[in-house]
Amino acid sequence: MPIVSRRAALAALALPLLPCPALAQGEAFPSRPMRFIVPVAAGGSADGQARIVAQRLAERWGQPVVVENRPGANGVVAAQAFLQAPPDGHTVFATPSGPIAINPYLYRRLPYDPFRDFAFASLISLLPLVLVAHPSLPANNLQEFLALSRRLGDRLTHASAGIGTPSHLTIAMTRAIGQGGDPTHVPFGGSAPALTSLISGQTMAMWDAAVSAAPFARDNRVKAIAIAHTERLALLPNVATTAEQGVPQLISSTWMSLCMHAATPADRVRRFSAAVDEIVRQPDLRGMLETQGAIVRGGTPEDFAAFARAESEKWGRLVRETGATID
């Protein structure tokens, strides 16, 4: 069954907005249309992954799955909308890593606590960052780049998608593990303008999601130096990982996930998670995600919860080190 139109979605979602009785034990799930709230605008990688999984769930369960984009405030707008819905499993927060692992450290007064308010249902995929540089930079591998960074210091200009983003914090990660120098950070309002600055030669290097950097690497407008992971990417198969290049502790990924309200009945969270795990393991879907620079994960709610906590601790240390803040 396809994802429904906006008009049909509003009609289908009218019922959950009404007062509802307590959930009956063993009640069928899902018993009506589901809603995925996505904290980014339509068209990006996170939105695309949410829509792929939503389509497969709709086909599997015979219930429409509405994808609702709620961009704004680094995911805070979407998280609040998600938490206002009834905790019956029919509303899902389809979120990248920032609202879970980074926001709690960027905001002094965040209106939610992911480890109190969310049930971690499914980790869909990892999206490792790739180090890209201007073609004129005299470094063709990670060790050469790190040596150049130490030599140039603040004369090396390092673009990012913005303060507190993984592309910014990965610069700090490189410094924290005793690699590289202390480059000048040049934040932009997103990946696209940062890449534009790199391509034009205004900045020298950048950590970015592979899906956005790959087209420019393939036509040699930027130089792809390293994937910040232990596994190579199908999207950039000839680019060696940081682990292969002698810096195994330099691991940096965004990720895409599905969360439910913490008060959702556990059997619903588990049933939903199992269905998503089967879906992401389908060969054709796995192939689609890999062409977007993803490493498919899946797994149980317990797997995802443990991963999310470890990621939160890692990014929290880096936020504190940089002093990054939003408010």
pLDDT tens digits for 210-261? 999 999 999 999 999 999 999 999 999 999 999 999 999 999 999 999 999 9
Backbone angles phi, psi at 122, to 5 degrees: -145, 130
Task: Indicate whether 69 pLDDT > 70.
Answer: yes
Q: Is 10 among the domain residues? A: no
Show the domain range for 272. Answer: 34-127+253-322
Q: Is 57 among the domain residues? A: yes
Give mean pLDDT, residues 72-91. 96
Q: pLDDT value at position 54?
A: 98
Q: Is 218 among the domain residues? A: yes
How far apart CA 126 and CA 154 sit, in angstroms, is 31
Are 109 and 75 found together in one domain? yes
Is residue 176 very low, low, confident or very high in pLDDT (cuts 50, 70, 90)? confident
Work out the angle at residue 177's Cα, subtended by the Cα atoms of residues 172 and 179, and round it to the nearest 5 degrees. Answer: 85
Give mean pLDDT, residues 138-155. 95
Q: pLDDT value at position 75?
A: 95
Overall number of domains in the chain: 2
Q: Is 260 among the domain residues? A: yes
Q: pLDDT value at position 326?
A: 83
Task: Indicate whether 11 pLDDT > 90.
Answer: no
Task: Indicate whether 9 pLDDT > 60.
Answer: no
Is residue 2 very low, low, confident or very high in pLDDT (cuts 50, 70, 90)? very low
Task: Indicate whether 8 pLDDT > 60.
Answer: no
Task: Indicate whether 7 pLDDT > 50.
Answer: no
Is residue 26 very low, low, confident or very high in pLDDT (cuts 50, 70, 90)? low
Are 106 and 141 found together in one domain? no
Q: pLDDT value at position 150?
A: 93
Task: Indicate whether 157 pLDDT > 60.
Answer: yes
CATH number at residue 205: 3.40.190.10
Task: Indicate whether 51 pLDDT > 60.
Answer: yes
Q: Which positions ≥6 away from 227 have C-beta within 8 Å?
A: 128, 129, 130, 210, 233, 236, 239, 240, 241, 242
Beta bridge partners of 257: 95, 123
Output the average pLDDT for the chain. 91
Give mean pLDDT, residues 93-104. 97
CATH number at residue 43: 3.40.190.150
Q: pLDDT value at position 77?
A: 97
Backbone angles phi, psi at 301, to 5 degrees: -60, -35
pTM assigned to the model? 0.88
Q: Is 275 among the domain residues? A: yes
Are 104 and 42 found together in one domain? yes
Q: Is 12 among the domain residues? A: no
| End residue of a domain, out of 227, 261, 295 | 227
Is residue 44 very low, low, confident or very high in pLDDT (cuts 50, 70, 90)? confident
Is residue 327 very low, low, confident or very high in pLDDT (cuts 50, 70, 90)? confident
Are 199 and 140 found together in one domain? yes
Give mean pLDDT, residues 298-306. 97
Q: Is 257 among the domain residues? A: yes
How far apart CA 175 and CA 150 sit, in angstroms, is 10
Is residue 20 very low, low, confident or very high in pLDDT (cuts 50, 70, 90)? very low
Q: Which of 26, 10, 7, 324 is nearest to 167 (CA)?
A: 324
Q: Distance of CA 18 to CAs 13, 14, 15, 290, 323, Å?
A: 10, 7, 6, 40, 44
